[in-house]
Amino acid sequence: MIVLWLPVLCALIRNGNTQYDEHFEEACPPDSVKIEDVCKCDYTLCDKPPCQSTLVQVANLTDVPGSCCPTYTCEGCVEEDQIEGMCPCLPGAVLRSGRKCECAKQHYTLSNGTCECDVNKCELPDLCDERSVAVVEREDCCEKVKCIECPSDSYPTAYNNATLDDMCVCYPCPPHKCNGTQVHILRNARNVPGMCCDLYLCENACTVNGTLYSHGDSWSLGDTQCNCQNGVSVCSSITPSEMSRTCLVENKIYHHNETWIVDSCTNCTCVHGEPKCIAHMCDVLTSEAKCPPMSACRKVCENGFRLNKQGCEICKCKLVQNKTDRLDLLLQEYNLTEEELTNLVRSRAEAEDVQSTVDSSTSTSSTTTPSTTVCISDHTKTRGDCTYSCILEYGIPGFVVGAIFAGILLFTFLKCSEKNRQKYKMHYNYRPVGKEAALDKNLNISPIINSKNFELKSYNEKKNVI
């Protein structure tokens, strides 16, 4: 039975090998084609390459596949334009094989006559271990990953996010451990990888009568001078001459080799009667911004001061609270004094009294002249008080407007009277009541009034005749 199947198996194996050979058959070069299983040159595939200067043919056609097309070179360019010692065929490209224009840079490809970055030609980035941080750096057109190991006092983050860069983060710092010794800080922590925690040294300290002395400190006990050396107190007697050499600092006496602390950063020692001080590196403390001093301010705040939002003093503005303050502002605006204002009011009152007397003398018992008074006052007040109240109520501008209005009425009345006298040719021989009559209320002015009534009666009779 097996013998019957052997020819079939052999045929299958033979056909499979044939298909395998055809599948892995080597292709012809780009300048040739396969004809009857033989690669032959196809000169139609030969293109003349571009050149930015002068294109020169250096080899002719051949019938060898892979070298069918002629080779060229670009010549005649200046040395500054050369790329790798050759003249460019296109910007950034050269004729490497003499037949095809290729970009000179490794990761670039020609596209529409321009060399552009081809990320497909870039190498795959490196993978960093768990103790390192991947830092992406760009070299030419490709990105290169650089692995940086975190210091021992920090660890790398793992965001797994393309928008967030990983970084080294400090571990929590352990407490200082110096059993039976004193901690000496060599470098303060800065909370950055590599300097996350304090760098310190454990030193042996000296304890005397409950006082802790660091290595190198010295102190005095009566006539004995002591010094701490690696936790051991080394003492020696002080000679009388050394004891006499004391330091007087701020009314305090310090003996030779005696130390004291000026502040948190400065230590001093008395050396043969002379203070020797050493200042250590300390943090600079800055206070909050203070208000600027008012001593150099040239402004005068007549109304006092007030506090702004920062708590600093600034000038306070004056508030108009009553009519008196308003009157003061008006006097200041019109450059008047109180005396000048009083005289102005008195003159205005006298003028209105005179005009009122004239109007009453030329009117009948049934006809009244329109009043020009701009305010109404109580009967107990004088006209001057009324005018002064008007100024307080309406201000100087209102007072001026009222005076102008009264003047217009007076001028119109006098003008009309003058026209009537000319029309009827009746001349009246009268004069205005004098200031004395207006001011002296006890003066008898009845003859004047009777005369005016007679003149008005004559005027009416004449008018009726006409």
Q: Which is higher by pLDDT, 194 or 328?
A: 194
Specify if 10 maps to a domain.
Answer: no
Closest CA to 375 of 346, 344, 406: 406
Residues 107 and 212 in one domain: no
The answer to the question of residue 302 being in a domain is no
Separation between Cα atoms, residue 65 and residue 32, nearest integer Å: 6
pLDDT band at 325 (very low <50, low <70, confident <90, very high): low
> What does the buried/exposed string (b/e) look like for 78-88 if buried means 16 or more CB atoms within 10 Å of the residue's CB?
eeeeebeebbb
Whether residues 351 and 415 share a domain: the answer is yes
Contact by Cβ (8 Å): 108, 116 = yes
Domain end: 279, 306, 337, which one?
A: 279
The token pair that represents 114 in the structure block: 């321009």
Confidence check: pLDDT of 396 > 80? no
pLDDT of residue 251: 72
- Specify whether 237 is located in the same domain as 347: no
Euclidean distance between CA atoms 441 and 69, whole angstroms: 140
Q: Does residue 358 sit in the same domain as residue 253?
A: no
- At residue 413, does pLDDT exceed 80? no
Residue, of 377 and 55, whose pLDDT is higher: 55
Among candidate residues 453, 349, 435, 451, the one with its CA nearest the CA of residue 391 = 349
Rg over CA atoms, the chain: 59
Q: How do strand 232-237 and strand 224-229 relate by DSSP bridges?
A: antiparallel
**Overall domain count for the chain:** 3
Q: Rounded CA gap, 46 and 63, in Å?
A: 12
Q: Quick check: is 386 in a domain?
A: yes
Domain limits at 454?
326-465
Same domain, 217 and 330: no
Is residue 406 in some structural domain? yes
Compute the average pLDDT of residues 12-31.
61
**Claim to verify: residue 336 and residue 429 sit in the same structural domain:** yes
pTM beyond 0.75: no
pLDDT of residue 10: 56
Q: Give the domain-ending residue among 256, 279, 302.
A: 279
Tokens 């009083």 appear where? 342
Do 359 and 232 share a domain, yes or no? no
In this structure, the answer to whether residues 452 and 334 fall within a common structural domain is yes
Reported as type and span, the H/E element at residue 437 is helix 435-439
Residues 275 and 333 in one domain: no
